[in-house]
Structure formats: C-alpha cells, structure tokens
Amino acid sequence: MDKSKYRFLLILIPILLLNCNNRLKSDKILWSNERLINEFLKSVSLKSKIIDLKISNDTFSIISTSPFLYYPFDENRTIDEFIKRNSFIKPENTRIIKDSFWEIQIYNSKLILFDDKEQNKIQIVSGETSNPEVELMNGIKVGISKNDFLMKFFTKIPKDQLDRIKVIELISGLTGIWHYYNFDKDSLRIIIFKTDYQFDL
C-alpha cells in the first residue's frame, strides 16, 4: 500500500467512527414519542390508575382516574382537618370567599378549595405554588427532580429520554381538573391547578 492510500485511510477511519458514534447518540436521544410512551406504559404503577399518555412538543400528558387529581393534599373531610394535616398552612392565611369556597394564601402560593358537603371532602379547585414548603400527599413539592416525580406514577423511567420534557400535565379521566408541573432543567419550579368548573367567585 502506497503512502497516499495509507494517509487516506488514517483520515477516513476516524471520520467513519465519529459518524457511527454520532448516529448511535442520535438514536439514543431521538426516540419517537410513540416508542417513549410505550416504554412508560410498560411500567405504569397500578396505584396511579393511568388510562392514557400523550407527548406533544415539551409536554408529557398523563390521563388518570386517580383521586390524587382532586385531592392532591390527601382526602380531608373539613377545612379544619385540611389545615391541621398540612403544616405549611396557618389559620390566619385561610378565609372563606363564598359559600363553600376557601382561599389559602402562603408566600408564593394561592389555593382555592371547595368544601363538598355531599362527598364530605375538601377538593382542589385551582391554585399555584412555587413554594417548596407546600408538599402534596405523595411527597411532590417544588424542587423535586423530574425522575423522582415520574417515579410516583411509574416503576421504571426510560433513561436519557426526559430532557425534552419541560411540563408534565396530569389530566383527570373523569371530569375537568388539570395539574401542571413545570420543570426548569431537572427541577420542579411551579405547580398549577386548574379546573373547567364554572364558579362565580
């Protein structure tokens, strides 16, 4: 083999190896949404009661019939029990705003609750918090990692596939209630509760 061919091979081989490596990395990163959803579906936790999953752009939507959607602070029978079981709430930060509706304001947080006399339970209506002291019943709070958050609903998380996800949306499979968990990099920054119930507050 002459020297020119030898030099050509020395140049070509690293280029081919680099392209192959980049292709492998690309395959690792660019899973299709369908494949990623299938991986999650294989590891759904039974207690999460998930009935469907969707991925659109940077949002991962989880449709569930879990009571957690209505009672993220656990099932409390009265507003007094709600306050007592959630240490971040002070009675002086709580007020009734109309009939059976209560407002709770804490630093960087506001929650609207409905005292459902028929169900004998306190439901979330709407709210927003970026306060790490506000902790939901399953340990979810501002500051939790994306992986730890998803492990509340799944038994296994597909590795290296979560960078694209910035918002995790929980949707009730029964009636209109939504949770939005917004992540900055790998950390939960804000929690938002919304409903399509029409209340004249």
* 123-180 pLDDT, tens digit each: 999 999 999 999 999 999 999 999 999 999 999 988 788 888 999 999 998 888 999 9
Overall pTM > 0.85: no
28 to 36, 102, 117, 167: CA distances (angstroms): 11, 48, 51, 21
Q: What is the pLDDT of residue 107?
A: 82
Q: What is the pLDDT of residue 154?
A: 95
Q: What is the pLDDT of residue 175?
A: 80
183 to 25, 100, 143, 145, 148: CA distances (angstroms): 24, 33, 9, 8, 12
Q: What is the pLDDT of residue 26?
A: 45
How far apart are the C-alpha atoms of 44 and 34, rounded to whole Å?
15
Q: What is the pLDDT of residue 24?
A: 45
Q: Domain residue spans in the chain?
A: 1-30, 32-195
How far apart are the C-alpha atoms of 65 and 109, rounded to whole Å?
26
Q: What is the pLDDT of residue 159?
A: 79
